[in-house]
Amino acid sequence: MLEDVNESSPDWVRPVLVFDMGAQTAQLIARRVREAHIYSEIVSPKLSAEQILARKPLALIVSGGPHSVYEDGSPHIDPELLKSGIPILGICYGFQMLTQMLGGEVASAGRHEYGKAEATVATDCPLFADTPGEQVVWMSHNDEAKVLPSGAKVVASSPGAQIAAFEIEDHPIWGVQWHPEVRHSEYGSQLIKNFLFNAAGLEPNWDPQSIKEHEIRQIREKVGNARVICGLSGGVDSSVAAALVHRAVGDQLTCIFVDHGLLREGEREQVERDYAASSGVKIVTVDESERFLNALAGVKEPEQKRKIIGREFIRAFEDAQRALVKEAGEAGEEIKFLVQGTLYPDVVESGGGEGSANIKSHHNVGGLPEDLSFELIEPLRTLFKDEVRALGIELGLPENLVWRQPFPGPGLGVRILGELTKENLAILRAADRIVREELTAAGLDRQIWQCPVVLLADVRSVGVQGDARTYGHPIVIRPVVTEDAMTADWFRLPYEVLERISNRITGDVPEINRVVLDCTSKPPGTIEWE
Report yes or no: 232 and 267 within 8 Å, Cβ to Cβ. Answer: no
d(CA 164, CA 178): 7
Nearer to ligand GLN, 100 or 342 (CB): 100
**234 is known to lie in a ligand binding site:** yes
User: For 296, phi and psi rounded to 5 degrees?
Assistant: -95, 0
- Look at residues 64, 67, 127, 65 and name the one whose alpha carbon lies nearest to residue 91: 64
Shortest distance in whole angstroms from residue 107 CB to ligand GLN: 10
Is residue 121 marked as binding?
no
Nearer to ligand GLN, 156 or 391 (CB): 156
| 27 and 35 Cβ atoms separated by less than 8 Å | no
We find the least distance from the C-beta atom of residue 95 to ligand GLN, in angstroms, to be 8
Helix (H, G, I), strand (E, B) or coil at 143: strand
CB of 292 to ligand GLN, least distance (A): 48
CA 420 vs CA 269, 299, 311, 459: distances in Å = 22, 7, 16, 14
CA distance 293 to 299: 10
CB-based contact 325:264 (threshold 8 Å): no
Q: How far is the CB of 42 from ligand GLN (least distance, A)?
A: 15
Are the C-beta atoms of 468 and 455 separated by less than 8 Å?
no
304 to each of 252, 297, 300, how far by Cα in Å? 38, 11, 8
Residue 61 beta carbon to ligand GLN: minimum distance, rounded to whole angstroms: 13
Closer Cβ to ligand GLN, 139 or 244, answer by number? 139
Minimum distance of ligand GLN from residue 148's CB (angstroms): 16
Residue nearest to ligand GLN as judged by C-beta position:
64
66 or 510: whose CB is closer to ligand GLN?
A: 66
User: Quick one: 141 or 305, whose CB is closer to ligand GLN?
Assistant: 141
* DSSP codes joined into one string, 461-504: EEEEETTEEEEEEEEEE--EE-SSSSSBEE----HHHHHHHHHH
What backbone phi and psi angles, to 5 degrees, belong to 99? Answer: -55, -50
Interacting residues with ligand GLN (CB under 6 A): 64-68, 92-93, 140-143
Q: What is the DSSP string of 401-460?
A: HHTPPP--TTGGGGSEES---HHHHHHHHHHHHHHHHHHHHTT-TTT-SB--EEEETT--
Amino acid present at 262: L
Whether 78 has a binding-site annotation, put simply, is no
Residue 143 · residue 107 · CB < 8 Å: yes
Query: CB 109 → ligand GLN: shortest distance, Å?
Result: 8
C-alpha span between 246 and 227 (Å, rounded): 11
Q: For residue 223, what are the contacts with CB-CB under 8 A and spacing of at least 6?
A: 245, 248, 249, 252, 336, 337, 377
CB of 156 to ligand GLN, least distance (A): 16
Calculate the CA 89 to chain-centre distance. Answer: 26
Between 64 and 188, name the residue whose CB sits nearer to ligand GLN: 64
| Residue closer to ligand GLN, measured from CB, 127 or 243 | 127
Q: Phi then psi for 483, rounded to 5 degrees?
A: -90, -40
Contact 271, 407 (CB under 8 A): no
CB of 165 to ligand GLN, least distance (A): 14
Query: Is residue 74 a known part of a binding site?
Result: no
**Catalytic center residues:** 92, 179, 181
DSSP state of 101: H
Our CB check for ligand GLN shows the closer of 94 and 411 to be 94
233 is in an annotated binding site: yes
CA end-to-end span of the chain? 36
Give the alpha-carbon dihedral of 108, 110, 116, 122, to 10 degrees.
-60
- The residue (of 88 and 501) whose beta carbon lies closer to ligand GLN is 88
DSSP 199: I
Which amino acids are annotated as binding site, given as ranges? 233-239
Annotated binding-site residues for ATP read 233-239
